[in-house]
Chains A and B, each alone.
Chain A
Amino acid sequence: MGITPILFWVLSTMALFSALMVITSKNPVHSVIWLILVFFAISGHYLLLNAQFLAIVNIIVYAGAIMVLFLYVLMLMDLKKEMEPQKNRWLKIAGAVAGGSLLLVLVAALKKADIGKDIAETRMGDIGLIENLGRILFTDFVVPFEISSILFLSAMVGAVMIGKKE
Chain B
Amino acid sequence: MPVNYYILLSVALFCIGIVGVLTRRNAIIIFMCIELMLNAVNLLLVAFSKMHHLKNTVNAATGSDGQLFVFFIMVVAAAEVSVGLAIIVMMYRNIHSVDINFLNRLKH
Residue numbers of A with Cβ under 8 A of B are 4-5, 8, 12, 15-16, 19-20, 22-23, 28, 31-32, 35, 38-39, 42, 45-46, 49-51, 53-54, 57-58, 61-62, 65-66, 69-70, 73-74, 76-77, 79, 82, 84-87, 91-92, 94-96, 98-100, 102-103, 106-107, 110, 115-122, 125-128, 132-133, 135-137, 141, 144, 148, 151-152, 154-156, 158-160, 162-163
Tell me the count of chain B residues lying within 8 A, CB to CB, of chain A. Answer: 74
| Bound: A31/B35 CA distance, A | 12
Residue numbers of B with Cβ under 8 A of A are 1-9, 11-13, 15-20, 22-26, 28-29, 31-33, 35-36, 39, 42-43, 46-51, 53-55, 60-65, 67-68, 70-72, 74-83, 85-90, 92, 97-99, 101
A66 touches B81 (CB 8 A): yes
* List of A residues within 8 angstroms of B54 by Cβ: 119-121, 125
A132-B60, A137-B71 known; A77 and B92 CB under 8 Å?
Answer: yes
| Bound: A60/B70 CA distance, A | 14
Contact residues of A: prevailing secondary structure: helix
| Bound: A69/B31 CA distance, A | 12
| Bound: A42/B35 CA distance, A | 12
A126 touches B60 (CB 8 A): yes
Partner of A156, one of B35, B82, B88: B82
Q: Nearest CB to that of B32 among chain A residues? A: A35
Residue contacts A-B, CB under 8 angstroms, 8 given? A12-B9, A23-B20, A38-B36, A54-B71, A57-B74, A62-B77, A119-B3, A120-B3
B76 touches A151 (CB 8 A): yes
A38-B36, A87-B23, A158-B86 known; A99 and B15 CB under 8 Å?
Answer: yes
